[in-house]
Amino acid sequence: MTITILSLHSYPVKSCAGISHTEVGLTQAGLAFDRQWVIVDRQGVFMTQRQYAKMALIQPTPEEGSLTLNAPGMATFVLAPAADTPAPPPVSVRIFGSDTLGLDEGDAVALWLGEFMGTPCRLLRVHPLAERLASRDHVNAWRRKHHEQVPDFPADHPFGFADGFPFLVANQGSLDALNQQLVGKGQAPVPMNRFRPNIVVQGLDAYEEDYLASMQVGALTFAFVKRCARCPIPGINQSTAESGPEPILTLSSYRRFAEGILFGVNAVVAGSVNGASLRTGDTAELEFNV
């Protein structure tokens, strides 16, 4: 069975606005620039839209060596490449249950973010020495099940500040089915950006992604290692930062499982990753679990 990539999205600063791509490079750690920065509070705890919905309004634009930030009512901030000075010591960061390292981007951007957020905070970038890995339990369970088809699939998949895995894949057919439910209840349909995926595919029936083992895009193999349990963030309008009970309320009425309210699948990648890229319109060959 063949499907196509409908859209591609990265989120340079964790929980801030995303960027859509027609073509984007990738590594084992995810799409280029995805979750390479994180905002932390004065205790060093990572901040997300779960507690600070207005983070959705911060628009990051990364380039090699720099990061530009825009937000309503704020002057544009450009985080320039660091001067040839010794790097500050690494900062410990815990993203849910996993520990990693960040590199503090300095006082100027901290003041800019603090002014917009209304609370003291700092910006950290993934540290070159960070060694955060996707859940080996989930990856190894997939490897054991699919060893005959993909005998050399690696166990270790490093990534940045995403919640738990380097890729989130969503199915447009599933969103269409959810929106049909919403409209039937007199609610407005929601765009896919509520679910903050990296890769959106089309051509599958609604929730058929639940049964996928992997997808092959050129020389890349994406292993679907875990279905994605959703937090309240899909209830936040990504254009206005306004919160509401939908679409989680409707989704929970028919997509609640032991793992949580499910939408999308978490993935890791292997194959000819160096120098690889994805494009909208790329076709993907699918393998279903048996």
My answer on whether 198 and 152 are in the same domain is: yes
Q: Which pLDDT score, from 0 to 100, does residue 84 have?
A: 63
Give yes or no: residues 117 and 151 share one domain.
Answer: no
Tell me: do 107 and 235 sit in the same domain. no
Beta carbons of 278 and 23 less than 8 angstroms apart: yes
pLDDT digits (tens, 9 = 90+) for 166-180: 999 999 999 999 999
Do 138 and 231 share a domain, yes or no?
yes
Residues 115 and 138 in one domain: no
* pLDDT at res. 6: 98
- Residue with the bigger pLDDT between 122 and 85: it is 122
200 is written with which tokens?
């959106």
**Distance, CA of 225 to CA of 5 (rounded, Å):** 19
Q: Which helix (H) or strand (E) is 249 found in, with range?
A: helix 248-252
Q: Give the DSSP H/E element, type plus range, for residue 58.
A: none
Tell me, yes or no, whether 142 and 120 share the same domain: no
- Whether residue 65 has pLDDT greater than 90: no
pLDDT tens digits along 229-261: 999 999 999 999 999 999 999 999 999 999 999
Distances (CA, A) of 40 to 50, 91, 101, 105, 117: 13, 11, 12, 12, 11
Same domain, 152 and 197: yes
Task: Provide, for the chain, the percentages of residues in helix, strand and coil under a 3-state DSSP scheme, each rounded to the nearest 5.
Answer: 20, 40, 45
Which one of 69, 95, 126 terminates a domain?
A: 126
Q: Are 187 and 266 within one domain?
A: yes
Domain boundary, last residue among 86, 105, 126: 126
Q: Average pLDDT in the 262-280 region?
A: 95
State whether 9 and 143 are in the same domain. Answer: yes
Residue spans of beta strands (DSSP E) within 172-219: 199-202, 212-217
Q: What is the mean pLDDT of residues 11-36?
A: 97
Task: Assign residue 222 the CATH number of its domain.
Answer: 2.40.33.20
Tokens in use for 259?
């793992």
Could you report the per-residue pLDDT of 124-133, keeping only the tens digit for each? Answer: 999 999 999 9
Is 17 in the same domain as 52? no
**Mean pLDDT across 109-128:** 97
Asked whether residue 158 carries a pLDDT value surpassing 80, the answer given is yes
- Alpha carbons 225 and 174: distance in angstroms, whole number: 19
- Mean per-residue pLDDT of the chain: 95
Among residues 93, 126, 159, the one where a domain terminates is: 126
The domain tally of the chain equals 2
Spatial contact of 22 and 8, defined as CB atoms under 8 Å apart:
yes
CA distance 103 to 90: 5
Mean local confidence (pLDDT), 262-273 = 95
Cα gap 248→136, rounded to integer Å: 29
The two three-digit tokens of residue 108, written as one number: 């100027």
pLDDT attached to residue 278: 98
Q: Where are the beta strands (DSSP E) in 1-109?
A: 2-10, 19-21, 23-27, 30-31, 37-41, 59-63, 66-70, 77-79, 91-95, 98-104
**Are 62 and 141 within one domain?**
no
72-107 pLDDT, tens digit per residue, is 999 999 998 766 667 778 999 989 888 899 999 999
Alpha carbons within 13 angstroms on the beta-carbon side of residue 179 total 12
Q: What's the domain range around 59?
A: 37-126
Same domain, 173 and 202: yes
